[in-house]
Amino acid sequence: MKSEKISDAVVRRLPVYLRFLNELSRREVPTVSSQELGQKLDLNPAQIRKDLAYFGDFGRKGIGYDVSYLIEKIRQILNLDQQINVALIGAGNLGQALSNYNAYLKDNMKIVAVFDASPEKIGSQINNITIQPIEVLVDAVKGNHIRIGIITVPDVEAQRVADQLVAAGIEAILNFAPTILKVPAGVRVHAADFTTDLISLAYYLDGGKERSEHDSKMVD
Amino acid sequence: MKSEKISDAVVRRLPVYLRFLNELSRREVPTVSSQELGQKLDLNPAQIRKDLAYFGDFGRKGIGYDVSYLIEKIRQILNLDQQINVALIGAGNLGQALSNYNAYLKDNMKIVAVFDASPEKIGSQINNITIQPIEVLVDAVKGNHIRIGIITVPDVEAQRVADQLVAAGIEAILNFAPTILKVPAGVRVHAADFTTDLISLAYYLDGGKERSEHDSKMVD
């Protein structure tokens, strides 16, 4: 059991493992090898073994990983062995789309409250959750033990919403606004910026394999 | 100038640098240090210097990086020195939200076509783009020199849409469906899976700083 700091890249792969392991569990598959995981998830098996070794000695040579045991361990590591309440701020198209994903968030994590500033949205429902006015955000977050906030408001509003979430004692923020948030050191922010994803894909155009040829144009 | 393979993590940071550099350029700031970049982007300055060194010797000691020169180089590296056409497949809430981001995709990258399977959506417009039937996808992608596809259809439809995009000669896919796509080796897929982002945030709850204390519960 290592106690060293785990990189964000490793932490981000754990939910991917978990999803596939849950699928195996549903199909009553008892064990899985790092090779099978690698093939299905398009990852290097050595990378997978290294990732999982951070958390303990899960695998057994020639047998692989016990699926239910690995699910239990990853859920513990990800703090999913408890109910985690999530708030969504911004009930526009993106907010509405994200609230649909509650169905995929099986693992004790749930969007339990939605907030918006627009009077014509307040009181209406998306996915059985009543949209509340942004003015009650701080009290509602505190009162419902909400620990993660998802920001889907326009970028000019994002910092103000983040400040309110911080004031309410939120621990983590998933920010969809294309802006960099300032928060205290104890609050974790992940940027879920679609434009960054999309623009970085452009790098792989013109045959990502022939980068050396492509690179030559940049040699001065 | 190194020609080694650049990691995906580095490639994903380049659009983040570019966005902030564009902001500096608008404010007519001529140079920027890795310290300033690091402070603004919440990244380690040494990491930033290392990232940018992959592409050549951009910075100058005591002066920093020339903003316009760095913008030009990053745009070249990301293939943004040409127009890149993007198609969006799935005009639901998420698709509509993403099409709004065209305003942020200043760098010669543009969503130029939207497709959907639902008859009541076809012919209507989102953000001045007419929604086309999914049946014309292959011809439209070929005819409009579309090189990147964004998949925002339900997960059960995602693989079929990916197959059609591949048949049409697409080079890269940004997949928002929570499913793993099978594509030929030459096609690059990025998973923009919101649930993965959100679940990985849970790891940082209960005070990410005190992981060693937290880890102790996992020692057998």
DSSP-assigned letter for residue B186? T
Contacts of B17 (CB under 8 A, 6+ apart): B37, B41, B48, B51, B52, B70, B74
The counts of H helices and E strands in chain B are 9, 9
Selected residues 131-170 of chain A with any CB under 8 Å from a CB in chain B:
147-148, 150
H-state helical runs in chain B: 8-26, 34-41, 45-53, 67-77, 93-99, 137-143, 155-167, 194-202, 211-215
C-alpha angle A114-B117-A178 in degrees, rounded to nearest 5: 40
Choose, out of A82, A148, A152, A201, the residue to mutate when testing the contact with B (most B CBs < 10 Å).
Answer: A201
Distance CA B118, CA B153 (A): 11
Smallest Cα distance from B208 to chain A, Å: 8
**A171, A180, A197 ranked by CB distance to B41: nearest:** A180
For chain B, positions 33-72, list CB contacts with chain A under 8 A: 40-42, 55-56
- Cβ distance B154 to B137 under 8 Å? no
Q: What contacts 24+ positions apart, CB below 8 Å, involve A5-9? A: A5/B211, A6/A54, A6/B203, A6/B211, A8/B200, A9/B9
Token duo for residue B84: 């890149």
- Closest chain A residue to B54, measured at CA: A215
- pLDDT value at position B114? 96
Say what the pLDDT of residue B30 is: 93
> In angstroms, what separates the C-alpha of B164 from chain A's closest C-alpha?
18
- Report yes or no: A19 at the B interface, CB cutoff 8 Å: yes
Question: Does B98 touch chain A if contact means CB atoms closer than 8 Å?
Answer: yes
Residues of A in contact with B36 (CB under 8 A): none
In whole angstroms, give the CA distance from residue B14 to residue B52. 9
Strands A172-175 vs B188-191: parallel, antiparallel or unpaired: unpaired
Task: Give the minimum alpha-carbon distance from A44 to chain B in angstroms, rounded to a whole number.
Answer: 14
Across the interface, of B171, B172, B203, the residue whose CB is closest to A77 is B203
pLDDT at A104: 66
Element (H, E) at A66: strand A65-66
Q: Examine the pLDDT at B152 and tell me if it is beyond 90.
A: yes
CA A43 to chain centre: 18
* Model pLDDT, residue A218: 33
Q: What percent of chain B has pLDDT over 90?
A: 45
Min mean pLDDT across A184-193, B57-66, B130-139 is at: B57-66
CA distance B53 to A157: 35
Of A1-5, A32-36, B119-123, B211-215, where does mean pLDDT reach its minimum? B211-215
Q: Which residue of A has its CA nearest to B198?
A: A174
- Nearest CA distance, A196 vs chain B (angstrom): 5
Mean local confidence (pLDDT), B31-40: 89
| Chain A nearest C-alpha distance from B7 (Å) | 11
Structural domains of chain B, ranges and CATH numbers in brackets: 8-77 (1.10.10.10), 84-197 (3.40.50.720)
Whole-number Å distance between alpha carbons of B38 and B24: 14
* Nearby residues of A210 by Cβ (< 8 Å), 6 or more positions away: none
Rounded to an integer, the average pLDDT of B41-49 is 86
Phi-psi region of B90 (alpha: psi -120 to 50; beta: other; left: phi over 0): left
Eight-state DSSP code of residue B40: H
Q: What is the pLDDT of residue A214?
A: 37
Low-confidence ranges of chain A (pLDDT < 70): 1-5, 55-59, 103-104, 106-107, 207-220
Quick one: pLDDT band at residue B218, thresholds 50, 70, 90?
Answer: very low
**Is B86's CB within 8 Å of A198's CB?**
yes
Nearest CB to A93; choose among B19, B78, B93: B93
Tell me which residue in A93, A205, A218 faces B147 most closely, judged by beta carbons: A205
Task: Provide the token pair at A52.
Answer: 């999982």
Question: Chain B residue with minimal CA distance to A152?
Answer: B97
- pLDDT of B209 reads 38
